[in-house]
Structure 1
Amino acid sequence: MKPIWKWIIGILLMLVLIVLGVAWYFSRNWKPLVETKLKETVTNATNGLYSIKYDDLDLNVALGNVTLKNAELVPDTNVYRKMVAQKLAPNSRYHIKLAALKVRSFNLWDVLKNKTLFIKSINFESPDIHMVQEYHAYNDTIVDRKTKTLYDNIKDVFNAVNVRDIKIDNVKFKFSKIENGKSSDIVLDSIGINVHDVLLDETSINDSTRLFYTKMVDIDVPGFTYDLSNGIYKAKFDRLKINTRDENVLLTKVEYAPKMSKSAYFKTKGQNVTMAVMKFDTLRLEKLNFKQLIDDQQTIAERIQIKNGSVSLYNDKRYPKKATSKIGNSPHQQLMKVQKLIRIDTVFVDNIDILYGEHSAKFNREGTLTFNNAKGTITNLTNDSLSLQKDRMMKANLSAKIMNAGNLNIHFGFDMLSKDGSHTYSGTLGSMQATSFNKILKPLLNVEIASGNIRKINFNMSANDHRNWGDFRFDYDHLKISLLNAPGSDIEKKGIASFIVNQILINDSNPDANEKYHVAKINYRRVPEHSFFKTMWQSLLDGIKQCAGISKEREAKLMGTAEEAKTIVDESKKVINKTGNFIKGIFKKKNKNEEKEN
């Protein structure tokens, strides 16, 4: 080897030894300085609310590595109580424990020369986070107090801090909510969090491409079940995924349901209060504004997708129902009453089965009405008055198979700014066998359709808080009805009564036997205690009765005819009363005497 190479190698070895020596010196002598500065920064940045402690700090300046072992961020309870008394305390506080905090590949030269800190990665090992939320009303009313940004807290030490990646695996998270002196907890395990490109400098807080200094936060939460505060319902999901860069939230296997059986639910309630069970395979929010959601609890998104699931609603007439006015509680009116802003461009519904079940007190049986494979869109779902000045209409276009047989298409238009709940609804029902409705008619009314071919139903309605009006067309043929004896009787059907109903009271087709086509002109006045949907069904019921030829005048005439014919007077009266109840029952309309009887 030539002497010159010996010199070069010697010089390089000498430089390495010098660098190692300097690194050792800095590691040895900077450690107490770093420890002191770290603790001061945490205390000052949180106004004394938090302190940091750890077992050991391993600083390797040459490699740009720092490791905190068994680190803990501890809130000071006494300081927090003083802040509460001074109306300065935040609603939330945290207690965080880490097996290790590893900072990798920072550049000491940039720190010394430019006061800038670049870190390649930070890894949190086995974090245990306890978040305590305690609401303070003054945080809603004080808006003038200026709070320090995260950059304000570090600018005396660094001009800028940039972290390429932060990885937080297997997070144990406990959320405790303190309300009226009582605490309720949510516990989550094995959460994964990845954060990409964190930048703290003078301008990054205002960078619209960043959410709280970051380019991306990716969160993966495994399955979780939460008992709601009423003690009756629970909410659960199989997985929650959040990505702030894509602005998406995905929930899978979502469920909202009582923690008990139907019988136990109504026994616990002691009233006929609707029981709801909702299950969805997929619930996705797209282009969600996370900053508005976090800062102001406003839900602003371009799209919501609800896919593959079911909604089941149950009532039990064996229990009393509290009569209260439903005026002003239509779906669009309730949306306008929500205190926090909601603005969603489009809601997509795909393959949702809807079931209504009701248990009869009189016959002790449950009847069901189903809308299968419901799909469609809801557009301009918002309570934002500024947006509604441009377009005041929320629209819903939906389709389903009613009783898994007939194709139902319905279109709603809701005037969101109307003072009296103005809205429209129109739709069509395609061909199906009328006998499909026996699943709800027979259990609840002890009546069944013997035969009937529904060719088409078409309606076009306008409505408000007090009235529904419009046109209704009902094309059908071969309609025959069977009135039944009480359950358990030796003879199931009332032959004579059924014969009179079919021959006298109901047109078996439309057009009728005289080739007259009946078009219903609906003008239905709402009963204040009836809900939005019950009022809508009762309005359509009025159309069915008119198309079937059952006008008030015809009923009165039939009553008079029956009085003249002594041999059928008693049976006719029973038939007319029974038929009236049957027609009302198609859409759940019941008179007061019947409700008392139930």
Structure 2
Amino acid sequence: MKKDEIVRKKGMARWPLIITLIIVLLVAGGYYAYQKYLAENRWKPLLQAELKALVLKTTDSLYHIEYSDFDLNINTGSATLTDFKLVPDTNVYNKLISLKKAPDNLFTLSVKKLSISNLGAVKAYKEKILNISSISIENPSLTVVNKRFKFNDTVKVGKPKSPYELIKNTFKQLHIDSIALKDISLNYINKNNAVEKHTALKHLNINISDVVIDSLSDKDTSRFYYTKGIDITIKDYKIATPDSLYKAAIKQIYFSTSKRVIYLDGVSFVPRYNKTDFYLKTHEAAGDIYNLKFNRIAINNIDLQRFLRDQMLYAGTLNIANGSVQIYSNNAYKGVKSIKIGKDPEQSLQNVALDMQLKRINIKNTLISYSESDATSGYTGVITFNHTNATILNVTNDDDVKKVNPYMIARVNTRFMDAGDLNVNFKFNLASNAGAFNYNGTLGKFDGRKLDRLVKPLALVHVQSADIQKLHFNVDASNYAGKGALEFYYKNLNVQLLKKVEGKAELQTQGFISKLANTLIIEDNNPDKKGIFRPGPIDIKRDPRVSFFSFLYKALLDGLKPSVGFDKKTEGKVNKAIVKVNNLVDKFKAYKANRQLKKEERQQARKAKKEAKMQRDSTKNK
């Protein structure tokens, strides 16, 4: 990151302390002025003039203050400021722009009530040392307008004023035990693009502990921006994605500088519409719909300087527990499909605006499911990974980090369809323009009939029996293809082929064809009775419109078919045979229908002939 960008962001990172410092100067300056003019019995108007002059001086005339009441109690050491406002002077701001001295951030602040307790007025007046027990700021509303200027470069303008430089002419030391900013409303306006971007936060709470500002405090490495710790809490954070298709919500965000952690509780990322309306909003473009929920996401061992000063997330671990990841797709929608090239998970990470490196991500007890609705069958196939635990290493989009180690490693263990143990390893090449990665794993013993939830709707196959012994796979893949090998060990495989019949809700069995498939094509066992093992080579081109998760299982399916004796050559023959058999069946049905029709016609003719004879006999008798 460039130096000027670092400088620009410093102001945003420490704004709670700067705003608090300005208010403290006001109140402390009030005490100072109060003591100075007490003997003259006309302290209030003098105090007001002193405070206004103090603000103008400390902010280079950019800001002025307004308030409805300022109550001081010299005996108890307390002060209350009501309806306080810090207002920027736009004329001064524009002048500073023309002089190339304007800051990148412009603040407008209003505070309903500010209370200070146990302020050492005498010591502040005599020794210029200000000690305060606590400061409480209620319902502050802060608007930050960010407009970055190229002239704000350390080479050109030097370092911005430190908090000590702001107070040194009034006090030589400032110490505050605790500062509480309660129920903050923050509005951030980004004016750096053609269209202004607004971000709003409400119900934000900030607690700052043990603030010390003097000539040496900025050298104290145990402190963070002159404090022992800053705790920030945001409740009920909600935001819609730019395309308005999803809404993200977090019940509570907690950030602590002393603990170096961020906790996100009650995290959800869900579609704003039902499945039908979602696809209508995307012009019926087939694609994945995501529904994500997590009880807690915790980030530990954060590099605070990088995070708050530079907006770069460098941390030790990210822990996710008790989550749910649901992905849905529907191939019935025939709209324009989006191209998925360059959008695999590791590639999407490279496009995240926040520079980051997480040494390790731990995922515990999370459900992952992929559902796909099929236009032919009318049903939805489901594949689930229950009780998923995973470790992901070197999660980064930092070019310098990738030069040293370009690989992101993921190790996953889960319960496949809640029936068999599955272990999968991923190795992503973060430096590959083609999105190169490898995935390999082993699936343990389970009852193959559990596969019905997936293959019955999507492949029109009903698994009547299958004792799965083991499945091992190793695939080298990218945005364009997948190539590798699969080893499938099983016994007693027996399937039934299905079809969709117009006018009938349930899938119908293809009895004769199923018997033909089980007898002549599909192998019951692998290895077979002679001990010959059929490998499952994988060589598949990737449809650029297919998602990452869909591609993973379709590549495996490419290796499963030859493993059961249903290779591409056999598949072609079977398809031709099925067409011929279906034609014969159709002809046979037509023949039977024609015979039945002729039979009914003969019966009608005999009946008519009989009735005619009876009519003639009746006429003769008369």
Q: Counterpart in 1 of 2:429?
A: 415
Q: Counterpart in 1 of 2:555?
A: 539
1:247–1:356 distance in 2 versus 1, CA, 3 Å: same
Q: Counterpart in 2 of 1:17?
A: none
How do 1:502-521 residues align onto structure 2 when only pairs under 5 Å count? Answer: 502-521=518-537
One-letter amino acid matched to 1:290: L
Distance 2:81 2:575 in 1: 92
One-letter amino acid matched to 2:426: F
Kept in 2: contact 1:27–1:60 (CA 8 A)? no
Q: Counterpart in 2 of 1:281?
A: 295
Does 1:212 pair with 2:225? yes
Q: Counterpart in 2 of 1:460?
A: 474
In structure 1, which of residues 570, 577, 591 is the aligned counterpart of residue 580 of structure 2?
Answer: 570
In structure 2, which of residues 235, 242, 260 is the aligned counterpart of residue 222 of structure 1?
Answer: 235
Give per-residue Cα distances to partners, 1:229-272, cap 9 Å, x unaligned.
Answer: 32222111222222111011112111111222111111111111
Does 1:405 pair with 2:425? no
Does 1:474 pair with 2:488? yes
Structure 1, unpaired ranges of 5+: 1-20, 563-567, 576-598
Q: Counterpart in 1 of 2:278?
A: 265
1:113–1:370 distance in 2 versus 1, CA, 3 Å: same
Once the 2 structures are TM-superposed, how far is the Cα of residue 82 of structure 1 from its aligned partner?
4.9
Kept in 2: contact 1:266–1:272 (CA 8 A)? yes
SS of structure 1 residue aligned to 2:157:
coil
Kept in 2: contact 1:559–1:573 (CA 8 A)? no
Once the 2 structures are TM-superposed, how far is the Cα of residue 187 of structure 1 from its aligned partner?
5.0
Does 1:364 pair with 2:374? no
One-letter amino acid matched to 1:374: T
Kept in 2: contact 1:497–1:572 (CA 8 A)? no
1:472–1:359 distance in 2 versus 1, CA, 3 Å: closer
1:281–1:388 distance in 2 versus 1, CA, 3 Å: same
Once the 2 structures are TM-superposed, how far is the Cα of residue 476 of structure 1 from its aligned partner?
0.9
Kept in 1: contact 2:371–2:380 (CA 8 A)? yes
In structure 1, which of residues 130, 142, 155 is the aligned counterpart of residue 142 of structure 2?
Answer: 130
Kept in 1: contact 2:183–2:202 (CA 8 A)? no
Distance 1:436 1:27 in 2: 91
Kept in 1: contact 2:35–2:125 (CA 8 A)? no
Give per-residue Cα distances to partners, 1:392-448, cap 9 Å, x unaligned.
Answer: 322111122222222211011223334554432211111122222222322334332
Does 1:117 pair with 2:127? no
Q: Counterpart in 1 of 2:165?
A: 152
Once the 2 structures are TM-superposed, how far is the Cα of residue 343 of structure 1 from its aligned partner?
0.8
Does 1:165 pair with 2:178? yes
Structure 2, unpaired ranges of 5+: 1-33, 586-622
Once the 2 structures are TM-superposed, how far is the Cα of residue 174 of structure 1 from its aligned partner?
4.7
CA RMSD, aligned part only?
A: 3.3
Give per-residue Cα distances to partners, 1:480-533, cap 9 Å, x unaligned.
Answer: 221223254498211011111112222121012432112334444545554444
1:131–1:573 distance in 2 versus 1, CA, 3 Å: farther
Once the 2 structures are TM-superposed, how far is the Cα of residue 138 of structure 1 from its aligned partner?
4.0
How do 1:103-502 residues align onto structure 2 when only pairs under 5 Å count? Answer: 103-124=116-137, 126-136=138-148, 138=150, 144-146=156-158, 147-175=160-188, 180=194, 184=198, 186=200, 188-189=202-203, 191-270=204-283, 271-320=285-334, 322=336, 326-418=340-432, 420-487=434-501, 488-489=503-504, 492-502=508-518
Give per-residue Cα distances to partners, 1:119-168, cap 9 Å, x unaligned.
Answer: 221122x3231324455464898874332223222222222212111122
Give per-residue Cα distances to partners, 1:10-69, cap 9 Å, x unaligned.
Answer: xxxxxxxxxxx9899369566555433332232233333321122233334444333323
Distance 1:409 1:512 in 2: 26
Q: Counterpart in 1 of 2:594?
A: none
1:47–1:320 distance in 2 versus 1, CA, 3 Å: farther
Q: Which shows bigger deviation, 36-45 or 246-255?
A: 36-45
1:485–1:529 distance in 2 versus 1, CA, 3 Å: closer
Kept in 2: contact 1:41–1:153 (CA 8 A)? no
One-letter amino acid matched to 1:404: D
Q: Identity percentage over the alignment?
A: 29
Distance 1:443 1:327 in 2: 27
Kept in 2: contact 1:380–1:394 (CA 8 A)? yes
Kept in 1: contact 2:37–2:46 (CA 8 A)? no
Once the 2 structures are TM-superposed, how far is the Cα of residue 559 of structure 1 from its aligned partner?
8.0
Q: Counterpart in 2 of 1:67?
A: 80
One-letter amino acid matched to 1:502: N
1:97–1:427 distance in 2 versus 1, CA, 3 Å: same
One-letter amino acid matched to 2:560: I
Distance 1:327 1:535 in 2: 12
Does 1:548 pair with 2:564? yes
Q: TM-score, normalised by structure 2?
A: 0.79
One-letter amino acid matched to 2:135: I
1:429–1:355 distance in 2 versus 1, CA, 3 Å: same
Give per-residue Cα distances to partners, 1:176-198, cap 9 Å, x unaligned.
Answer: 56675566563523x43221011
Kept in 2: contact 1:559–1:572 (CA 8 A)? no
Once the 2 structures are TM-superposed, how far is the Cα of residue 347 of structure 1 from its aligned partner?
0.7
Bigger CA radius of gyration: 2
Distance 2:245 2:258 in 1: 37
Distance 2:185 2:62 in 1: 23
Kept in 1: contact 2:286–2:337 (CA 8 A)? no
One-letter amino acid matched to 2:161: K
Distance 1:501 1:421 in 2: 39
How do 1:64-103 residues align onto structure 2 when only pairs under 5 Å count? Answer: 64-83=77-96, 89-90=102-103, 92-103=105-116
SS of structure 1 residue aligned to 2:423:
strand
Q: TM-score, normalised by structure 1?
A: 0.82
Q: Counterpart in 1 of 2:602?
A: none
Q: Which shows bigger deviation, 292-301 or 81-90?
A: 81-90
Once the 2 structures are TM-superposed, how far is the Cα of residue 328 of structure 1 from its aligned partner?
4.2
SS of structure 2 residue aligned to 1:245:
coil
Distance 1:329 1:158 in 2: 56
SS of structure 2 residue aligned to 1:263:
helix
Kept in 1: contact 2:537–2:559 (CA 8 A)? yes
1:228–1:37 distance in 2 versus 1, CA, 3 Å: farther
Distance 1:509 1:72 in 2: 80
Kept in 2: contact 1:520–1:546 (CA 8 A)? yes
Kept in 1: contact 2:326–2:370 (CA 8 A)? yes
Kept in 1: contact 2:187–2:198 (CA 8 A)? no
Give per-residue Cα distances to partners, 1:325-367, cap 9 Å, x unaligned.
Answer: 5444443333334454211111111111112122222333322
SS of structure 2 residue aligned to 1:214:
coil
Q: Which shows bigger deviation, 326-335 or 378-387?
A: 326-335
Q: Which shows bigger deviation, 378-387 or 341-350?
A: 378-387
